[in-house]
Structure 1
Amino acid sequence: MEHEILFPLLCKTAQGSKDDFAELYRITSPQLYAVALKLLKRPELADEATQDAYIKIWHNAGSYQRAKGTVLTWMVSIVRYRSLDLMRYHNVRNEVELNDDEPSGNDSGPSIKLGAEQARLSECLDELDGPQRQAIHLAYINGMSHQEVVNHLASPLGTIKSWIRRGLQSLQRCLSI
């Protein structure tokens, strides 16, 4: 489903279509903003990261490679890297320890009103195996590098990468239903 909508919009964005870029923004901005806010914990920094990510998406739409993942995954990685840059710059890194006793997607921080898409993503995350869910949370939500996840979970790098890859594949299948 996501691929059927976002890929054509991204292709037309790569050709310079402002209307298609605006539609891509309308559809994806809640997810990208949520990722940035989760990482940065501050709305003004999340706004900055999201805006910077969309500028990068506009300029680099033609460099998207289908073989490396979905359009949304590509876009999330852009906002994630921009958020990490801002975290380093502003020194606001707040790592949250996750353990299997805590439900995923819930924290004691500021609550974000989740739309239907975010609620669906949360449901799909809850369906993942514990190690996959935790590795994805640490890497994509807490902004840890693969090596930091290795150290945090005391598991080999290959295992961490496999958990993340299989978890993202499961999320993709779940979200496309």
Structure 2
Amino acid sequence: MSDASVLLARVAGGDRAALQSLYKLQSVRLFGIAMAVLRDRDAAADAVHDGFINISRRAGLYDPERGPAEAWIGAVIRHAALDIARRRGREIPTDDATLGDTPVEPAQLDSISAGEDGTRLRACLEALPEKNRQGILLAFVHGLSHPQIAARLELPIGTVKSWIRRGLLSLRECLT
């Protein structure tokens, strides 16, 4: 059982000190996840804050049988960042790599997912055709909507939706 799993179990029991320890252990990684989605330091900090409020309230919902605690916590933060992005409206992506607008390669997912499930996910992503992998990463790592992906790739939205759907079906098949 990882440190995060132990701390998450203690948080579920109402242990505030465990929540502080979990924050100290995971905040840098989680801030990186929020930054990948929002590309704004203040908004990313808000997402981490909102996410930790959700973690403190929902820690009892974490099921270690479904995956590592780090992945569950990362998903909570990612959803908090996506909620903020939806509320404020996303800016149009640029081609400036310094702003984090370049697609994330599967090898970079190490910082987001760990363990056996993460290894399997990366292997399955690498097995996908480039177009499917790129669409999935833009949607699920960068948090872009289908219209934003279509604009970035200069493709019809229907094509983007089809690529992502086929890629997700292939991922599901590979992961089962």
Shared fold by TM > 0.5?
yes
Partner of 1:121: 111
Partner of 1:102: none
Matched, 1:154 2:162: yes
Q: Calculate percent identity across the aligned residue pairs.
A: 24
Partner of 2:143: 143
Highest RCO, 1 vs 2 (Cα 8 Å, sep ≥ 6): 1
Please state whether the residue corresponding to 2:99 is helix, strand or coil: coil
Partner of 2:20: 22
- Structure richer in helix, relative to its length: 2
- Structure 2 matches for 1:39-78, cutoff 5 A? 39-78=37-76
CA distance in 2, matches of 1:29, 1:85: 18
Please state whether the residue corresponding to 1:154 is helix, strand or coil: helix
What is the TM-score normalised by the length of structure 2? 0.66
Say which one has the larger Rg. Answer: 2
Unaligned runs of 5+ in 2: 101-107, 113-118, 150-157
CA distance in 1, matches of 2:143, 2:137: 8
Checking the alignment, whether the CA contact within 8 Å between 2:136 and 2:168 is kept in structure 1 is: no
Please state whether the residue corresponding to 2:163 is helix, strand or coil: coil
What is the TM-score normalised by the length of structure 1? 0.66
CA 1:73/1:44 → structure 2, altered by over 3 Å: closer, same or farther? same
Partner of 1:134: 134
Unaligned runs of 5+ in 1: 98-105, 111-117, 170-177
Checking the alignment, whether the CA contact within 8 Å between 1:36 and 1:83 is kept in structure 2 is: yes
One-letter code aligned to 1:36:
A
